[in-house]
């Protein structure tokens, strides 16, 4: 079944949150107005990315990352044209041109840059293909999505959108109960750390904003990023009163409220009746 739609309705931030939390493996294909981007994931982690028809060969990525000089790049293009990225990577490491870490960091930065471009897209059809994985000859990486999501969420500037996402500031936050999600591994800004210090089901978002001297917009932006990264969840503030029941309105259809002793038998009668339909 499909995981597909339009970025206009379901943003890249939301998609990455879903892929991260569901630990999905496969490839996200996004058809934007001007180019097509493929982003592959393994168990919810970024593995590979390809933008349009751009040269995604290892030698070009290393050259762009300034790990190869122009003559080295030209020579490798000429002589190693038929080699796969994995073979070439091995050759370069064995020949002491470059170390394995440099290769992985260069690829990681290249893939993350492609993904960051996606965050600026407001339109484009997407679909997630579970069966589609990066080509076998390509080197893949393993990058947690949380920091990418936080960075992407920082780009959301519209107050209206943020109000949609977090309509109520009188609600509290708690850390999400997710194995492997360690707050220390996240690249948080000073302001984000300030908010994190106060995360506790006893503190409402409004109280945290007051304590950290942040405006509604500032606190919403930070909470939105933390939410999308799956770091925190919204919870009813401890000790907050439950919402008051609505005022009594004359109902057009009279509805009987049975007493508690009768309720269980009443529900069982309903269950039996619906089973027999």
Which spans of this chain sit near other proteins (rule: CB under 8 A)? 1-6, 8-10, 14, 17-18, 21-22, 164, 167, 242-243, 245-246, 248-249, 251-258, 260-271, 273-275, 277
Element at 71 (helix H, strand E)? helix 70-79
Distance between CA atoms of 260 and 262, rounded to whole angstroms? 5
Shortest CB 36 distance to other proteins, Å: 19
Shortest CB 53 distance to other proteins, Å: 28
Q: CA-based angle 156:198:14, to the nearest 5?
A: 30
Which tokens sit at 191? 């302001």
Q: Which C-beta is closer to other proteins: that of 2 or that of 70?
A: 2
Sequence-ordered list of residues with C-beta below 8 angstroms from that of 215, at least 6 positions apart, any chain = 209
Shortest CB 214 distance to other proteins, Å: 24
Q: Which C-beta is closer to other proteins: that of 4 or that of 142?
A: 4
Shortest CB 169 distance to other proteins, Å: 14
Sequence-ordered list of residues with C-beta below 8 angstroms from that of 172, at least 6 positions apart, any chain = 200, 201, 202, 203, 204, 205, 234, 235, 236, 237, 238, 240
């Amino acid at each position: 079944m499909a995981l597909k739609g339009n970025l206009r309705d379901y943003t890249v931030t939301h998609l990455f949150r879903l892929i991260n939390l569901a630990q999905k493996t496969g490839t996200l294909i996004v058809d934007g107005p001007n180019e097509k981007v493929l982003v592959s994931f393994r168990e919810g982690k970024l593995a590979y990315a390809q933008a349009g028809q751009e040269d995604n060969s290892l030698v070009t990525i290393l050259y762009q990352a300034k790990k190869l000089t122009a003559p080295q790049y030209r020579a490798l293009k000429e002589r190693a044209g038929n080699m796969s990225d994995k073979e070439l990577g091995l050759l370069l490491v064995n020949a002491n041109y470059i170390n394995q870490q440099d290769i992985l960091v260069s690829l990681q930065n290249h893939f993350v840059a492609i993904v960051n471009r996606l965050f600026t897209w407001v339109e484009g059809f997407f679909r997630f293909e579970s069966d589609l994985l990066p080509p076998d000859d390509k080197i893949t990486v393993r990058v947690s999505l949380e920091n990418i999501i936080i960075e992407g969420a920082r780009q959301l500037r519209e107050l209206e959108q943020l109000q949609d996402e977090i309509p109520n500031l009188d609600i509290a936050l708690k850390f999400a109960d997710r194995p492997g999600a360690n707050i220390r591994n996240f690249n948080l800004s000073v302001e984000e750390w300030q908010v994190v210090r106060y995360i506790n089901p006893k503190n409402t978002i409004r109280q945290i904003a007051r304590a950290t001297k942040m405006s509604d917009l500032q606190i919403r932006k930070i909470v939105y990023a933390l939410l999308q990264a799956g770091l925190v969840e919204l919870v009813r503030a401890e000790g907050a009163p439950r919402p008051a029941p609505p005022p009594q309105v004359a109902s057009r259809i009279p509805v009987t409220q049975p007493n508690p002793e009768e309720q269980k038998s009443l529900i069982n009668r309903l269950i039996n009746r619906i089973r027999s339909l």
